Structure 1
Amino acid sequence: MKLNAYQLSVMAAASVKKNLTITIIGANDGRINDPLFPLISGPLKNRCTAVLIEPNESLNSILRENYSFTKRKVIINSAVSNQSNITLYSVKEAFWAHCQPTYAQNWPNYRAPTGITSVDRNFVKKWIEKYQSASFNSDAAIDSRTVRCSRLQPLLSEKASMESIDVLQIDAEGHDDHVLYASDIELLLPGIIFIEITHLSRERLNALRKHLVECAYSCVLQGENMMAIRVPQDTTDP
């Protein structure tokens, strides 16, 4: 398997740690289109602990099945946010078969429609209208539900007994920067952050990069994502 820069960075981190701690926010089914799954299920199978955070409880059974190869996992049904709860918009299951984009060929029919679940209703509406294969009112195909939220540090402390992590991966369909701001990276100190940026405006992307740099990270674009590597800080006195 040819590894990309992100995967190589994770493998490099694993080479110097006995157990790598990985947190994935927006895990969906944990497998399809996830750059870490080939590593966690392969060379890192017995060398990492994965925390899979997914607010859609209907994906629980699929997520557990896809991660049945390891006991070193924690599945948390929650959203990461500064708010106590948020409204998530998604495609109703009755419309999944009529919303199958070409990029989802050979995927299970749930994967693409659940993969665009977002706090932005208009984002979901536009996606449906772009990919619907039958004539129906896009508004009628949108479901909404309120989910509980927490900042990341207390969530990991309570549910996974973790006070720090090595890798943080975020895929939140347009809400990615807000999730990062609620992820307490100053406390958890992840060495590697991988975050989707394709839905962010230039202004939001610049603000996100500025925040990461201020938190001692070096950032590099990776297609539709950005990878941030924590820069070791010199704590010696001059």
Structure 2
Amino acid sequence: MSTVSRSIGYVLHARPYRETSQLLELFTVSEGRMAAVLRGARNRGRHAAQPFRRMELAWSGRGQVQTLTQCDEIGAMRLKGDRAICGLYVNELAMKLLPRQIQAPDLFEAYEQVLCQLADAGIPVERPLRQYELALLKWLGEGLEFLSSDDLEPGAHYVLEPQQTPRRAGAGEMDSPHCITGRALTALLCGQLEDREDRRQARRVLRLLLDHHLDGKPLVSRQLIARGRSDATS
């Protein structure tokens, strides 16, 4: 008899599977990213598994794809329009950058936080998206967790290159796409990206770092965002 496992989680991606089921990519507290089948999903109608909903999950089985025995919504983030597209971006990054079945409780917390803030129309989307990207890059081992805003000089420039220790820019590096001012980097680390130029620099540098890990994998959500607005995300 298979052991039943339980966790809180979210649907990152769902697609039809066979006649009435769904094949889901999930992000859970206990397992990180995982794949599972929800049988009879079409019979659940609007209660079928969907993104941006906090779910109570239970599953059993062996191998890479589990079988859900419970999939109950216990909360939902109401994302509409551009904010829903930003939510798709958040999910797509997790789908393409997180390996399956590796616990990531800190990143799960950052994931929940970005969804909550995207659902709040009073919060500009730029701030939570950059914080989520930053948390993801720290989890991927980019060394950004060692940066301290106390050690940065606002007027200085710093270089953030993939898989390299962040460092102060040398002569001739001020125009590097990996370069960011101390002021913008401090605002990013403190979650206070209020200035437009600081936001632009942070967005550019984080995108370059993420692109290194994406290794050429395209993000559909970026294309959708680019069509709708120019200053929302990477």
For Structure 1 versus Structure 2, the TM-score category normalised by the shorter chain is under 0.3
Larger % of helix: which?
A: 2
The two structures have a TM-score, normalised by structure 2, of 0.25
Q: With the length of structure 1 as denominator, give the TM-score of the two structures.
A: 0.25
Q: Which has the larger radius of gyration?
A: 2
Greater relative contact order: 1 or 2 (C-alpha under 8 angstroms, separation 6 or more)? 1
